[in-house]
């Protein structure tokens, strides 16, 4: 046993000697002057570089470096960067961070979107492991965590590019793959030196992979650190991951926006970190070559505006942000139907991973329109760039705005962005301006606007299974998303839900359960002002349907309001098809349920071509409602009176006809008995009863006819 121990320690000491020699060799190699370059321009690497850590007091030597080839990095890395052609000069964040990170320090790096933060952490990872002569048997030496699969995948590409001449093993661990891939990952993960992953997948390996070992971790990187530590959906996972990492490590944190609360970072146990915010003193928080605009647009005109905008920018690559997946699915599907020749694409979290990747690369390759949720708002770098970023739904906060618009104008390219703001959301402008975001208003050209709501309504009628449910879900999920945003700016109860519903082609506003309490509480406030109105309001909402429509239009929907509405109007369409009292009464309860969320008379009407028409009547001022309802009550009483009189007359006529028939029958019976004829004949009375109430032919009559 003692012999075995001594042999083991001998092997270990030999191994460490060999390691020293290798380190020395690598150092000499990295110091070899490159062809054509001035050897004097390369600063000498300090002696403790062999330990993978530069002498921090000497980092100032490299602080003035502006090109990658001036950095104390290996020849292999320099070659890889040079072969890429585009990586010659360092960007601000790279110039600021690389000397510190190469010294082995903890760094918090903040810089505008598209400023090259990825290279600022990929180079230090590669160099640290290279100096430490890391090989597959050494296990996991570095972990990079990104919030989305797309960002992780892009980071992995950059890593492959920078490390192409190195011999490390690296793995991309992202979710959304088939089960057997997880098995393959489990077998290989312990032999990988660098793991680029999403938090969920990493935690899965930490929990499930036998002997998963990251005890030798050297560099830990958190990309988009603000969302990773403050977003509730990541927070728990991140805490679980961080608790399993060794404390002795280098930590690099990056983002375009700073974490809200420094306390969030406490969990990371940073050691005397360098906070490098290179654009802190910049006049703007967004890229300099980004032209930012906004347009004030009511909720129910957003789709019209978007459609008109896209039609005028057909040769551009347009990235459109919507709040929810259901909205993305609906708008993409609907616009595809409106114009099948345009390339429409959709990106959202639940999409199959291969399709997600394919969509990102396809969008990069041709002029097209990509509808996306916030899954594409951070970190994504589309190869050929994005011409326009359009935010149809206002982002929840300023950080989200910065990341969304940051998908264009990357590095030193130009880009444009357009934000749709509803009149109720104008407060967002103050926040953007306070955050040094230069944004200017543009006025839409009303003459060139095109309305799509009528066509959408047509499609919904034609393909109810496909579009109707999607439209309803889009509406509901959008409203839900508004309730989750900053209450200071967003108020779901103030939204014109009926108009919005009509604008996306829905014939009636679907029931929105989660809103009922809010609406009820707001109508309760109204009832406190005029207590008689509310119970009546609900009752009459149903009863109004009984009356001819032209009688309903009491001028509440004024001409002025109709003029404001750009959609075509057709007065004849206000008359609904006749309905019987019995069918209406049977649906009474259902009707009441649906209408409980809407004010009286805001039912959406369509003309023959499917164009939506302005609501029939609007109770703009609830305090006038009781007078209006009195008028309606009078008209209703008058109507019932006429109806009763009409019924009495019909009753009288029926009695006369019945008397005639009875008399005829008695006469026939008398004649038959006089002849002695006993054969039965079909009763004439029944001949009149041709069909039952459901419209089905009377079987007895048919048989007798045969
Ligand atoms: N030194 C450089 N020279 C030329 N191009 C560069 C340089 N550094 C990065 N780039 C390019 O700039 C683009 C943006 O880089 P990167 O994705 O790293 O930005 P980022 O700061 O991480 O952006 P985001 O905040 O949106 O995640 C990429 O296409 C990248 O190839």
- Tell me how far CA of residue 200 lies from CA of 209, 236, 620, 688, in angstroms: 14, 10, 50, 74
CA of 437 to the centre of ligand 1 (A): 21
Q: What is the dihedral of CA 9, 10, 15, 16, to 10 degrees?
A: 70
Q: Which residues make Cβ contacts (< 8 Å) with residue 408, sequence separation at least 6?
A: 290, 319, 385, 386, 387, 388, 389, 415, 416, 417
293 touches 418 (CB < 8 A): yes
pLDDT in tens, 337-377: 999 999 999 999 989 888 998 999 899 888 999 999 999 99
Residue of 277, 379, 410 best suited for mutating to test ligand 1, as the one with most atoms within 8 Å of CB: 410
Asked if the model's pLDDT at residue 7 lies above 90, the reply is: no
Instruction: Say if ligand 1 is within 6 A of residue 155 CB.
Output: no
ipTM of this complex prediction, to 2 decimal places: 0.99
CA distance 108 to 110: 7
Instruction: Say if ligand 1 is within 6 A of residue 616 CB.
Output: no
Instruction: Say if ligand 1 is within 6 A of residue 541 CB.
Output: no
What is the DSSP pairing of strand 219-223 with strand 369-372?
A: unpaired
- Nearest ligand 1 atom to the CA of 158 is 31
- The domains of the chain, with CATH numbers, are 2-282 (3.40.50.300), 290-503 (3.40.50.300), 529-559+585-596 (no CATH)
Helix or strand holding residue 416 (H, E):
strand 415-421
What is the DSSP pairing of strand 318-321 with strand 142-145?
A: unpaired
Helix or strand holding residue 255 (H, E):
strand 250-255
217 vs 65, more confident = 217
Q: pTM of the full predicted structure? A: 0.68
- Tell me how far CA of residue 251 lies from CA of 201, 269, 274, in angstroms: 20, 9, 11
The counts of H helices and E strands in the chain are 26, 16
Instruction: Say if ligand 1 is within 6 A of residue 393 CB.
Output: no
pLDDT-derived band at 11, boundaries 50, 70, 90: low
State the chain's mean pLDDT as an integer. 75
- Nearest ligand 1 atom to the CA of 151 is 27
- Nearest ligand 1 atom to the CA of 87 is 3
**Which of helix, strand or coil describes residue 172?**
strand
- Tell me how far CA of residue 677 lies from CA of 478, 665, 674, 705, in angstroms: 79, 15, 8, 22
CA of 407 to the centre of ligand 1 (A): 11
16 touches 133 (CB < 8 A): no
Strands of the sheet with 415-421, listed across from one edge: 344-347, 369-372, 318-321, 388-391, 415-421, 290-296, 440-441
Tokens of 303: 């789709």
Tokens of 560: 């002025």
279 vs 440, more confident = 440
Asked if the model's pLDDT at residue 241 lies above 70, the reply is: yes
CA distance 286 to 290: 7
Instruction: Say if ligand 1 is within 6 A of residue 100 CB.
Output: no
Own/partner long-range contacts of 563-571 (Cβ < 8 Å, ≥24 apart): 565/614, 566/301, 566/304, 566/446, 566/449, 566/451, 567/451, 567/453, 567/454, 567/611, 567/612, 567/613, 567/614, 568/451, 568/454, 568/607, 568/611, 568/613, 569/613, 569/614, 570/607, 570/608, 570/611, 570/613
* Mean pLDDT, residues 73-102 taken together: 94
pLDDT in tens, 567-614: 333 332 332 333 333 334 344 444 444 443 444 334 444 555 555 554
419 vs 366, more confident = 419
CA of 471 to the centre of ligand 1 (A): 38
- Nearest ligand 1 atom to the CA of 91 is 1
Instruction: Say if ligand 1 is within 6 A of residue 117 CB.
Output: yes
Residue of 116, 155, 375, 401 best suited for mutating to test ligand 1, as the one with most atoms within 8 Å of CB: 116
Q: Give the residue, by CA position, lying nearest to ligand 1 atom 23.
A: 114
465 vs 703, more confident = 465
- Nearest ligand 1 atom to the CA of 119 is 18
CA of 280 to the centre of ligand 1 (A): 18
Q: Which of 289-293, 463-467, 496-500, 604-608 has the highest mean pLDDT?
A: 289-293
- Nearest ligand 1 atom to the CA of 256 is 25
Instruction: Say if ligand 1 is within 6 A of residue 87 CB.
Output: yes
Asked if the model's pLDDT at residue 54 lies above 60, the reply is: no
| pLDDT score recorded for residue 384 | 86
| pLDDT score recorded for residue 675 | 66
Lowest mean pLDDT of 296-300, 507-511, 516-520, name the range: 516-520
26 touches 74 (CB < 8 A): yes
Instruction: Say if ligand 1 is within 6 A of residue 411 CB.
Output: yes
| pLDDT score recorded for residue 366 | 87
* Mean pLDDT, residues 171-180 taken together: 73
What is the DSSP pairing of strand 612-613 with strand 605-606?
A: antiparallel
142 touches 246 (CB < 8 A): no
Asked if the model's pLDDT at residue 658 lies above 70, the reply is: yes
| pLDDT score recorded for residue 680 | 37
| pLDDT score recorded for residue 141 | 96
| pLDDT score recorded for residue 515 | 73
- Nearest ligand 1 atom to the CA of 411 is 12
| pLDDT score recorded for residue 583 | 37
CA distance 573 to 546: 16
- Nearest ligand 1 atom to the CA of 118 is 18
CA of 88 to the centre of ligand 1 (A): 13
- Nearest ligand 1 atom to the CA of 89 is 1
**Percentage, residues of the chain above pLDDT 90:** 44
Q: Give the residue, by CA position, lying nearest to ligand 1 atom 1.
A: 90
pLDDT-derived band at 671, boundaries 50, 70, 90: confident
Q: Give the residue, by CA position, lying nearest to ligand 1 atom 14.
A: 114
CA of 224 to the centre of ligand 1 (A): 14
Q: Specify which residues 251 forms β-bridges with.
A: 220
pLDDT in tens, 614-624: 443 333 343 44
Instruction: Say if ligand 1 is within 6 A of residue 364 CB.
Output: no
CA of 113 to the centre of ligand 1 (A): 8
**Which of helix, strand or coil describes residue 605?**
strand
* Mean pLDDT, residues 421-441 taken together: 94
Instruction: Say if ligand 1 is within 6 A of residue 116 CB.
Output: yes
Q: Give the residue, by CA position, lying nearest to ligand 1 atom 2.
A: 87
Instruction: Say if ligand 1 is within 6 A of residue 415 CB.
Output: no
Instruction: Say if ligand 1 is within 6 A of residue 27 CB.
Output: no
């Amino acid at each position: 046993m003692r012999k075995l121990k001594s042999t083991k320690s001998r092997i270990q000491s030999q191994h460490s000697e060999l390691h020293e020699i290798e380190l020395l060799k690598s150092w000499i190699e990295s110091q070899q002057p490159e062809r054509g370059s001035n050897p004097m321009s390369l600063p000498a690497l300090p002696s403790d570089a062999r330990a993978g850590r530069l002498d921090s007091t000497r980092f100032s030597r490299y602080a003035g470096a502006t090109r990658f080839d001036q950095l104390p990095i290996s020849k292999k890395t320099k070659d890889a960067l040079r072969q890429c052609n585009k990586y010659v000069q360092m960007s601000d964040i790279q110039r600021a961070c690389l000397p510190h990170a190469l010294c082995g320090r903890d760094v918090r790096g903040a810089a505008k979107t598209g400023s090259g933060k990825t290279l600022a952490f990929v180079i230090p990872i590669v160099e640290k492991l290279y100096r430490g002569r890391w090989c597959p048997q050494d296990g996991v030496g570095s972990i990079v965590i990104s919030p989305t699969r797309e960002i992780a995948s892009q980071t992995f590409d950059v890593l492959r590019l920078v490390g192409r001449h190195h011999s490390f093993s690296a793995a991309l661990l992202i979710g959304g793959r088939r089960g057997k891939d997880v098995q393959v990952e489990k077998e290989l993960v312990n032999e990988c030196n660098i793991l680029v992953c999403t938090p969920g997948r990493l935690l899965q390996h930490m929990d499930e992979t036998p002997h998963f070992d990251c005890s030798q971790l050297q560099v830990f990187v958190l990309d988009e650190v603000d969302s990773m530590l403050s977003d509730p959906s990541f927070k728990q996972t991140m805490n679980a991951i961080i608790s399993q990492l060794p404390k002795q490590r280098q930590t690099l944190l990056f983002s375009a926006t700073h974490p809200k609360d420094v306390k969030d970072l406490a969990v990371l146990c940073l050691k005397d970190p360098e906070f490098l915010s290179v654009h802190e003193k910049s006049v703007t928080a967004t890229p300099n070559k980004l032209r930012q605009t906004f347009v004030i647009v009511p909720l129910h005109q957003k789709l019209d505006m978007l459609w008109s905008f896209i039609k005028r920018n057909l040769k551009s690559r347009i990235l459109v942000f919507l709040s929810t997946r259901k909205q993305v699915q609906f708008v993409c599907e609907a616009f595809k139907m409106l114009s099948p020749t345009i390339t429409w694409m959709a990106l959202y979290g639940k999409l199959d991973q291969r399709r997600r990747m394919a969509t990102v690369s396809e969008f990069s390759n041709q002029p097209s329109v990509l509808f996306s949720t916030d899954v594409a708002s951070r970190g994504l770098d589309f190869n050929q760039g994005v011409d326009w970023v359009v935010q149809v739904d206002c982002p929840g906060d300023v950080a989200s705005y910065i990341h969304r618009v940051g998908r264009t104008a990357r590095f030193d390219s130009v880009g444009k962005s357009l934000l749709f703001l509803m009149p109720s959301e104008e407060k967002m402008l103050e926040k953007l301006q306070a955050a040094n975001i230069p944004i200017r208003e543009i006025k839409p050209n009303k003459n060139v606007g095109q309305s799509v709501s009528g066509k959408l309504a047509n499609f919904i009628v034609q393909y109810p299974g496909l579009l109707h449910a999607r439209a309803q879900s889009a509406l509901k999920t959008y409203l839900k998303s508004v309730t989750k945003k900053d209450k200071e700016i967003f108020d779901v109860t103030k939204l014109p839900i009926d108009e919005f519903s009509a604008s996306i082609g829905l014939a009636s506003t679907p029931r929105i359960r989660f809103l009922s309490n809010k609406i009820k509480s707001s109508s309760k406030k109204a009832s406190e002002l005029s207590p008689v109105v509310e119970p009546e309001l609900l009752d009459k909402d149903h009863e109004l349907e009984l009356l001819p429509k032209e009688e309903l239009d009491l001028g509440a929907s004024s001409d002025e309001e109709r003029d404001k509405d750009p959609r075509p109007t057709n007065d004849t369409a206000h008359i609904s098809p006749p309905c019987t009292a019995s069918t209406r009464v049977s649906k009474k309860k259902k009707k009441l349920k649906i209408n409980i969320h809407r004010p009286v008379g805001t039912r959406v009407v369509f003309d023959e071509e499917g164009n939506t028409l302005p609501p029939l009547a609007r109770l703009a001022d609830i305090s006038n409602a009781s007078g209006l309802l009195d008028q309606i009550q009078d008209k209703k009483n008058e109507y019932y009176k006429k109806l009763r009189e009409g019924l009495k007359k019909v009753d009288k006529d029926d009695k006369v006809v019945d008397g005639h028939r009875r008399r005829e029958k008695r006469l026939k019976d008398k004649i038959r008995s006089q002849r002695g004829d006993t054969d039965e004949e079909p009763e004439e009375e029944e001949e009149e009863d041709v069909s039952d109430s459901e419209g089905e032919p009377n079987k007895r009559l048919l048989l007798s006819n045969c």
